Amino acid sequence: MRRTTPRRFAIAAAIVALSAGLAGTASATTTAEPRQPRQAEQSDVFEHGYELGLAAYRYGLPLVTTQKTFRHQTSVDVPNGRGFGPANRFNPVRSFTDPDDRSVVAPNLDTLYSIAWLDLSKEPRVIHVPRIKNRYFVIPLMSPYTENFSNIGSVRRTPPGDYAVVGPKHADVRLPKGVKKVRSPYDRVWIIERVYADNGSRADQRAVHRIQNAITTVPLSKYPDTDWKPRRPRNPDTTVDEPALPTGMAFYDQLGRLLAKFPPPKADRPLLEQLAEIGVGPGKRPSTDASLDPELVAGMEAAVADGPATVLADAQALYGQGFATYNGYLVTPTGRYGTDYRLRAVVTQVGLGALQPEQAIYPLALVDRTGAPLTGAKKYVIHIPAGDLPPVSRTGFWSLTMYDNDGFLVPNPVRRYVINDRSELHYNEDGSLDLFVQATQPADREQAQNWLPSPAGGFRILWRLYATQATQIPGVLDGSGWKTPAILPAG
């Protein structure tokens, strides 16, 4: 019998609490208790339905979750200042969150967002990009399958101008002179625009508001009026709806509708051929398929019930496998997944909307380097050798943010929730840097300058590396290059 080490147990316990969005845009998802071991009376037919049902759940989770998010964020028909608003326009987030705001998990204190859902079914949409000097920004284009298929922004050194996002129905459309074409594989595109803003400067945030206002999207038929907006509704709907993920056989029905609406890539055919055995596929409604064996259906329903816990177990496995390689952190490539449906489901559940590594890398720690859960009952030191700060590019930046185990900011007397490359820190004589993570303020003045306050209970730490140097990205991702600094108990 394989022995469970304390570190493996601690990682498993910590991952169970991992339900926050790494990118700061996803709401917490509901976890479920794992299914009990198969009883003798459960038939092979049940098990077949269960195993293929889990495969369908992992495969379909991005599509179904993105649909839920679309309905949630577009449920109001005027922008509300928090990223919600009608489709086919940018709906800005105007301010950073604080510990009193518990509406968004793992909030970002580095960039201000604007959210847009483009519908390209009738005609292309033109995005106007103003001149943005010496500031990180990205307008990432995301497919319904959560593939970050294109990026407009500072990493790609996108020049100011107008960019037509063209769906498959209008691939051959003729564009006005000077308008550049960006092809989308689908008629729906999700954009989580990010613009760097100094969370300690209201003046800088106001400058970003002007940038947010200047980044616009209009239908091609209204171009070149890049400031065109539809009329404001007379009786605006300002009530945000809270749709839930479908459960049971309704999950597979929803997946069938979405696969028909957003046809899967050719590379997915082998898996879809297997899923057809349980009545799952484009346009299929297995809940009404009388040919399916009742025991098969029971297995499929059990798979959906166990789906969230199964995906978290996948995340646990990823964390454990890379624990030593990544110095105690969970580090995964995001934004492009191909046929790695397991990884794609993990990122969907714990970091919906994550970017490609060229834009951002998100090392996450729920335990210290010894494998013990992070807790405010202990004091920790993060030592960064001289010259070993995160390898971000000239317009990039890094940050280290503290969250409680529910993924929210931690109230503290000095109102410090993040340490980043703008923080005024004390460096050691040899150029190295020590960051002190603990619940109480250090008595030493220099240590207090480098203090990241933690809650009294459990917590997690998330690094963000935006615009990592291109030559460093492969090494960060495979563990052969720069490593996120270890979190070690002090004393």
Average of pLDDT values for 141-152? 98
36 pLDDT higher than 90: no
Coil, strand or helix at 203: helix
Place 290 in a pLDDT band, splitting at 50, 70 and 90: very high
pLDDT at 41: 62
Tell me if domain 76-222 and domain 355-489 are identical in fold.
Answer: no
Q: Where are the domains of the chain?
A: 6-69+245-322, 76-222, 355-489
Q: Give the length of the chain.
A: 491
pLDDT at 102: 77
DSSP state string for 13-70: HHHHT--S-TTS-PPP----PPPPPPPTTS-HHHHHHHHHHHHHHHHHHHHHHHHHHH
Place 220 in a pLDDT band, splitting at 50, 70 and 90: very high
Instruction: Give the Cα separation of 473 and 479 in Å (integer).
Output: 10
Identify whether the C-beta of residue 366 lies closer than 8 Å to the C-beta of residue 17. yes
27 pLDDT higher than 60: no
CATH class of the domain defined by 76-222: mainly beta
Tens of pLDDT along 245-263?
999 999 999 999 999 999 9
Q: Is the pTM of this model over 0.85?
A: yes
Comparing 27-36, 58-67, 459-468, the range with the smallest average pLDDT is: 27-36
Average of pLDDT values for 197-224? 97
How is domain 355-489 classified at the architecture level of CATH?
Answer: Sandwich (2.60)
